[in-house]
């Protein structure tokens, strides 16, 4: 049971990191990207490549993964500077498709469809992290780090700049805000922080393949942000917890036939999403419907 909970805990932390980082772009900057899983993937593949070929040092691997995520985020930043709203959603879906194709085809780096196997265990100053408890502490530390960074950014002038751009780009420009730089910086930061989730994920499973980085993951993370509360500090964490724990909770309901749990889960997801958007469009952590976007 403890092992099960620790396993769930690690996956929750990974997803919560992705939701918190996506919230910086969706909730604060108002850029609805459907390609966040690509940066999760870039983080995971880069981390596994560096870990296998160069060093198992967690700090070095994480840093390289973050640099890769940040550097490659221009593929989302470029369309975000050109188009808005539904046009950007379409462009970001293109980025997601492109990402999945490269992950599937670039065999020397990603292992193709088969993925990357035997990723070595991470070490911190020579100490090897191997037990489930240690991995949970690592994942939780990653989440805390990302939340602390996002929180301080969102509550300060950077957060206000993002929200200003989100609420009225033309007014932000007229007040002297370099909108293009603000958007780019938000995307670079969010993508490089998302790579932390990729690193933890790759190390924990010691095996990754493209299945974890598809559009389904992007949609799931976006759902976590919206259900929890876009543009709030803790909403995405609540959203991640809800969407991670619900399937587990359902599996404990003895009266549900195990073969049907999958479909029941989908029905509950769908219903919850519709009801939430009707009664609490700002998400679970919000001041209610009045201020919702």
Site residues (vs another protein, CB under 8 A): 152-153, 156-158, 160-161, 163-164, 166-168, 170-179, 185, 231, 290-291, 293
Task: Tell me whether residue 84 or residue 177 sits nearer to another protein (CB atom).
Answer: 177
Three-state SS at 231: coil
d(CA 159, CA 186) in angstroms, rounded, equals: 9
Task: Tell me whether residue 130 or residue 178 sits nearer to another protein (CB atom).
Answer: 178
> How remote is the C-alpha of 233 from its chain's centroid?
14
Q: Find, among 66, 13, 59, 20, the residue nearest to 43 by Cα.
A: 66
Q: How far is the CB of 28 from another protein (least distance, A)?
A: 10
Task: Tell me whether residue 82 or residue 293 sits nearer to another protein (CB atom).
Answer: 293
Query: Cα(first)–Cα(last) distance of the chain, in Å?
Result: 41
Task: Tell me whether residue 262 or residue 288 sits nearer to another protein (CB atom).
Answer: 288
Q: How far is the CB of 233 from another protein (least distance, A)?
A: 15
Task: Tell me whether residue 67 or residue 181 sits nearer to another protein (CB atom).
Answer: 181
Task: Compute how many other C-beta atoms are within 10 angstroms of the C-beta atom of residue 225.
Answer: 28
* Maximum pairwise Cα distance, the chain: 61
Task: Tell me whether residue 9 or residue 30 sits nearer to another protein (CB atom).
Answer: 30
In the beta sheet, which residues pair with residue 123? 57, 128
Contacting residues for 72 by C-beta, under 8 A, at least 6 apart: 39, 42, 191
Q: How far is the CB of 145 from another protein (least distance, A)?
A: 16
Task: Tell me whether residue 140 or residue 177 sits nearer to another protein (CB atom).
Answer: 177
Determine which helix (DSSP H) or strand (DSSP E) holds 123, and give its type and residue range.
Answer: strand 123-124
With beta carbons less than 8 A apart as the criterion, state whether 190 and 66 touch.
Answer: no
Helix segments in the chain, DSSP class H: 2-23, 36-53, 58-72, 74-82, 85-105, 107-110, 132-155, 157-167, 169-174, 179-205, 215-228, 235-251, 261-279
């Amino acid at each position: 049971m403890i092992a099960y909970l620790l396993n769930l805990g690690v996956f929750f932390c990974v997803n919560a990191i992705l939701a918190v980082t996506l919230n910086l772009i969706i909730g604060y900057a108002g850029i609805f990207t459907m390609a966040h899983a690509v940066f999760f993937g870039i983080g995971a593949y880069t981390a596994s490549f560096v870990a296998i070929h160069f060093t198992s040092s967690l700090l070095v691997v994480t840093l390289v993964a973050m640099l890769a995520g940040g550097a490659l985020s221009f593929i989302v930043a470029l369309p975000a500077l050109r188009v808005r709203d539904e046009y950007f959603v379409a462009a970001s879906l293109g980025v997601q498709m492109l990402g999945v194709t490269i992950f599937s085809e670039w065999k020397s780096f990603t292992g193709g469809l088969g993925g990357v196997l035997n990723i070595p265990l991470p070490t911190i100053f020579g100490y090897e992290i191997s037990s489930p408890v240690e991995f949970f502490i690592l994942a939780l530390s990653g989440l805390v780090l990302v939340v602390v960074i996002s929180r301080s950014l969102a509550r300060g002038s950077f957060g206000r700049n993002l929200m200003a751009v989100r609420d009225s780009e033309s007014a932000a420009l007229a007040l002297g805000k370099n909108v293009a730089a603000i958007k780019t910086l938000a995307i670079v930061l969010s993508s490089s922080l998302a790579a932390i989730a990729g690193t933890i994920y790759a190390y924990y499973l010691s095996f990754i393949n493209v299945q974890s980085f598809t559009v389904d993951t992007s949609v799931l993370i976006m759902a976590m942000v919206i259900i929890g509360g876009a543009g709030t500090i803790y909403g995405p964490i609540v959203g991640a917890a809800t969407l991670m724990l619900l399937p587990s909770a359902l599996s404990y309901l003895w009266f549900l036939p195990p073969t049907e749990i999958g479909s029941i889960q989908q029905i509950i997801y769908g219903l919850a999403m519709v009801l939430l958007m009707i009664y609490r469009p700002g998400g679970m952590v919000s001041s209610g419907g009045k201020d919702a976007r």
